[in-house]
């Protein structure tokens, strides 16, 4: 099965928290679009872009923590730890590049 088709079942509270954060970020991005449309001052737009970037990184870190505690830990317990750790390190490398 392709890696992009794997699924994880999140508890409803975790899912709602992630969805709420992402909706808030979506609202921030729409606000930035409006700022551009309104010819707002570049520095103000850049500050908002930084806020969105930080918020996305925080969502990523939250997901990374859950992934490590659940998916990676379960893979290690079942004997598939090497593959899970390799995947985890690829993800960490992508996160630190941003």
Architecture of domain 14-97: Up-down Bundle (1.20)
The residues, ordered by sequence, that sit 6+ positions from 81 with a Cβ below 8 Å of its Cβ are 72, 75
Are 21 and 55 in contact, with CB atoms under 8 Å apart? Answer: yes
Cβ neighbours, 10 Å, residue 32: 19
Radius of gyration of the chain from its Cα atoms, rounded to whole angstroms:
17
Domain boundaries, the chain: 14-97
pTM: 0.82
pLDDT in tens, 7-56: 777 889 999 999 999 999 999 999 999 999 999 999 999 999 999 999 99
Are 55 and 25 in contact, with CB atoms under 8 Å apart? Answer: yes
């Amino acid at each position: 099965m392709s890696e992009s088709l794997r699924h994880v079942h999140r508890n409803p509270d975790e899912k709602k928290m992630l969805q709420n954060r992402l909706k808030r970020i979506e609202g921030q991005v729409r606000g930035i679009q409006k700022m551009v449309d309104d010819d707002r001052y570049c520095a103000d737009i850049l500050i908002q872009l930084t806020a969105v970037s930080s918020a996305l990184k925080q969502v990523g870190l939250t997901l990374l923590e859950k992934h490590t505690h659940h998916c990676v830990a379960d893979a290690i317990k079942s004997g598939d730890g090497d593959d899970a750790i390799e995947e985890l390190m690829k993800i960490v490398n992508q996160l630190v590049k941003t």
